[in-house]
Structure 1
Amino acid sequence: MKVLLITQARYGSTRLPGKVLMEVLNKQTLLDVHLKRILTSKRIDKAVVATTHEKKASRIIDIAFQNGIEAYRGDTHDVLDRFYKTAFLFQPEYIVRVTSDCPLIDGSIIDLVVGHLLANELDYVSNTLERTYPDGLDVEAFTFKALELAWKEAHLNSDREHVTPFIWRNSSFRNGSLFKSANVSCENSFGEMRLTVDEYPDLLVVQKLIVELGTDKNWMAYVDLLIQNPAIAALNSHFKCNEGYVKSLAKDIT
């Protein structure tokens, strides 16, 4: 297998428990929307869900199967271990990482990031090293070898919880030497916008966008709607990007 996409999904969440199972339109859950949009990618050979042993994760597995996607359980907190062991089952050359709190993820962005990785023979490519895409359209692509090295060598809690910091922190884009890397940017910067679902106001924003436009539009259609409706965008504009990772870093220090 050449390209395996793995999306992380768990029931527990400190800020918004059970968020991936919340419904947005016609009894579709956020996870349903996320998975259907992933499958529009033309560059991936297979998609799987990496979930946990939490009791309510069985519903996540059911939704994955309903969408024709396999699911595997792993460690709740050591997400790097869960991610690596899921990937190891398939032995891909390349891996795409997305997360299920990004319901409006776009297959075209997945294809752009993967294409850049393959064309330039890099170890790691993402659209988050310099954020020009809205938070919630995050895509990372990297070699299986890079993931395996991170799994073996990463020891900080923040590295284990967030999967890829060991890779991008030691990559050429950040003046590291272990991995050749690059960032994919869009022409205009929308990095201050939020299409992710971490907090309840995020859910309200995504629900409003989906009610207005449905679940199958290009990512720019949702961005344009936010631009045209600043009152909607203001609902979650006060939240900071990557708050979870910042909290993990603080735990590393203590």
Structure 2
Amino acid sequence: MESALISKLKIATTHEEGVEPIIDICNELGVAYYQGSLDDVLGRFYQAALPENPDWVVRLTSDCPLIDPAMIDKVVRAAIEHDVDYASNTLNPSYPDGIDVEVFKFSALEKAFKEATLTSEREHVTPYIWKNSDVKGGHIFKALNVENAEDLSLIRLTVDTIEDFEVIEKLVQIEGTDKDWLTYVDTLNNHPEIKEINQKYRRNEGYDKSIDLEK
């Protein structure tokens, strides 16, 4: 892990069929992992972190394959320096979708685990925290949004659809996997035919679907 501020990497996965390659990679690389609930992702995430007893937890999702270690450290530093319960660059998105970093105190995660009841709050780990944060008008958690100077939130560097995968595949063929996030953005802007491939999708469709099912 190239982040200077993450002390341990741990994979939170499931017991469902098809996760065997993930476990094999973890064992090969010596990365810790936890296998938990498929549907209660908040519970799985909490149980994965619990044995480590950390002060802070950094959440990185598997649909962000081009995550930038410098961005990770930027959000971690912001959380620590401002002593908030939760910090991210997604509360009011201005970075590309796929450069997502969430940092929160373990105490906030534990409170969410014990108190979150809605399906959308269990399936997506952090909604209970950020919905009840002062940034969103709540009173339980102190939060901070890390913003970019330019709004690039409509750019997709995520892998939620087959079109997203096609875009990432083309970017990796051109730039490799070790560039900073701005390089990938510049490459997309210089290749509008690639950028256009996945532009029909909107951000956070998975969470929106969970909300719709609750209505």
Q: Which residue does the alignment assign to 1:180?
A: 142
In 1: Cα distance, 2:141 partner to 2:30 partner: 33
Which of 94, 97, 100 in structure 2 is aligned with 1:138? 100
Pairing 1:168-207 to 2, within 5 Å after superposition: 168-207=130-169
In 2: Cα distance, 1:90 partner to 1:123 partner: 18
Which of 45, 61, 73 in structure 1 is aligned with 2:35? 73
Q: Which residue does the alignment assign to 1:90?
A: 52
Q: Which residue does the alignment assign to 2:178?
A: 216
- Look up the equivalent residue of 1:60 and give its one-letter code: I
Q: Which residue does the alignment assign to 2:119?
A: 157
In 2: Cα distance, 1:203 partner to 1:243 partner: 16
In 2: Cα distance, 1:63 partner to 1:54 partner: 16
Which of 227, 232, 235 in structure 1 is aligned with 2:189? 227
Identity of aligned residues (%): 48
In 2: Cα distance, 1:245 partner to 1:158 partner: 7
- Look up the equivalent residue of 1:211 and give its one-letter code: Q
Report deviation, 1:133.
0.6
Q: Which residue does the alignment assign to 1:106?
A: 68
Superimposed CA distance per residue, residues 189-212 of structure 1 (whole angstroms, 9 cap, x where no aligned partner)? 110000000111101100000000
- Look up the equivalent residue of 1:128 and give its one-letter code: T
- Look up the equivalent residue of 1:68 and give its one-letter code: G
In 2: Cα distance, 1:148 partner to 1:216 partner: 34
Q: Unpaired runs of 5+ in structure 2?
A: none
Size of the aligned set, in residue pairs, is: 215
- Look up the equivalent residue of 1:134 and give its one-letter code: P
Q: Which residue does the alignment assign to 2:91?
A: 129
Report deviation, 1:68.
3.0
Report deviation, 1:145.
0.4
Report deviation, 1:67.
3.0
- Look up the equivalent residue of 1:248 and give its one-letter code: S
- Look up the equivalent residue of 2:157 and give its one-letter code: L
Report deviation, 1:252.
1.4
In 1: Cα distance, 2:168 partner to 2:37 partner: 29
In 1: Cα distance, 2:45 partner to 2:115 partner: 15
In 1: Cα distance, 2:121 partner to 2:99 partner: 21
Q: SS of 1:235's equivalent?
A: helix
Q: SS of 1:46's equivalent?
A: coil
TM-score between both structures, scaled by the size of structure 2: 0.98
Poorly superposed stretches of 4+, deviation over 2 Å: 64-68
Report deviation, 1:56.
1.6
Report deviation, 1:55.
2.4
Q: Unpaired runs of 5+ in structure 1?
A: 1-38
Which of 119, 124, 128 in structure 1 is aligned with 2:81? 119
